[in-house]
Amino acid sequence: MNGSGVNTMPSGSPRLARDGAPRVRALIADDEPRARQFLEKLLEEQTEVEVVATAHGGGDALALIEKHKPDVAFLDIHMPDLSGLEVARHLSLEEMPVVVFVTAYDRYAVEAFELAALDYVLKPLKRERLSEAVRRVVSEVREGHRSKRARDLRAALDSPALQGAMPPLKRLPVRHRREIKLLELDQVPLVFSRDRLVLARAEGREYLVDYTLQELESRLPQDRFVRVHRAALVNLDAVESFGGEDGVLVLKLKDGTRVEASERRAAEVRKRLR
């Protein structure tokens, strides 16, 4: 285990399954240590699978997937920093492993998984159900179906059913160099669109965001962020003052930025600021 609490297994020659084929390389991501260890134990009983890394959160999972390039990722969907659904969403199609979601029973999530034909296992984990999922994963990996599964997963993640199953964002994932950086929401005074890109301002710079403003309006805490016009969301805690200027509501942020509210949204913005 390294200093961040992330387990990485030693690399070397690929281990072989009983049939002589390379084992399917797996990553586990779960913020609950006992659940993570139990899943690792069950997977170690599967002769076709080798666990190459375990992560205690979504941010760690993204970094370890980039590092280890696993064939399959078992992602818990209720991690506090970044859910398993968010982790899958932020993977590029080129690096995306086969994904198996792990969840305690959640009717809406399960219905969404069934509708999208996604692999999932329920907590408490059962050997029989996990073995079924492993058999499907091994078949998909060895038959070269990973790229198709990645495309299917990406389409499913954009569907209304799975969008509705995603929990509110507790941190904002942004692109930073070649990695995903998780910003604390109180660091983000403003999210806006420009030239068809969505950008978040934080730490004196702008970061690329992989969500539309419409998605963020529903996913960010509604008691903290308000849509001021079609191209901007403002963090209410970042507002220093506001008032009318030539009939236009203007918000002055603590970093000195001035943001105008649209006429259509001005009344709601005033209400939220009081």
Give the residue extent of every domain in the chain.
Answer: 7-165, 185-273
The structural architecture, per CATH, of the domain 7-165 is 3-Layer(aba) Sandwich (3.40)
Given this model, what pLDDT does residue 3 score?
43
The fold of the 185-273 domain, in CATH, is OB fold (Dihydrolipoamide Acetyltransferase, E2P) (2.40.50)
For residue 209, which of 67, 90, 95 has the smallest C-alpha distance? 90
Residue with tokens 């994904």: 99
**Do 7-165 and 185-273 show the same overall fold?**
no
> Parallel, antiparallel, or unpaired: how do β-strands 72-76 and 98-104 relate?
parallel
Token output for 121: 């296992």
- The pair of structure tokens assigned to 149 is 């599964």
Backbone torsion region of residue 135, taken as left when φ is above 0, otherwise alpha when ψ lies between -120 and 50, otherwise beta: alpha
Residues written for the chain: 274
pLDDT digit string (tens) for the chain, length 274 residues? 444 455 665 555 556 555 668 899 999 999 999 999 999 999 999 999 999 999 999 999 999 999 999 999 999 998 989 999 999 999 988 889 999 999 887 777 788 788 777 889 999 999 999 999 999 999 999 998 888 888 888 888 888 878 777 878 999 999 988 888 999 999 999 999 999 999 999 988 999 999 999 999 999 998 999 999 999 999 999 999 999 999 999 999 999 999 999 999 999 999 999 8
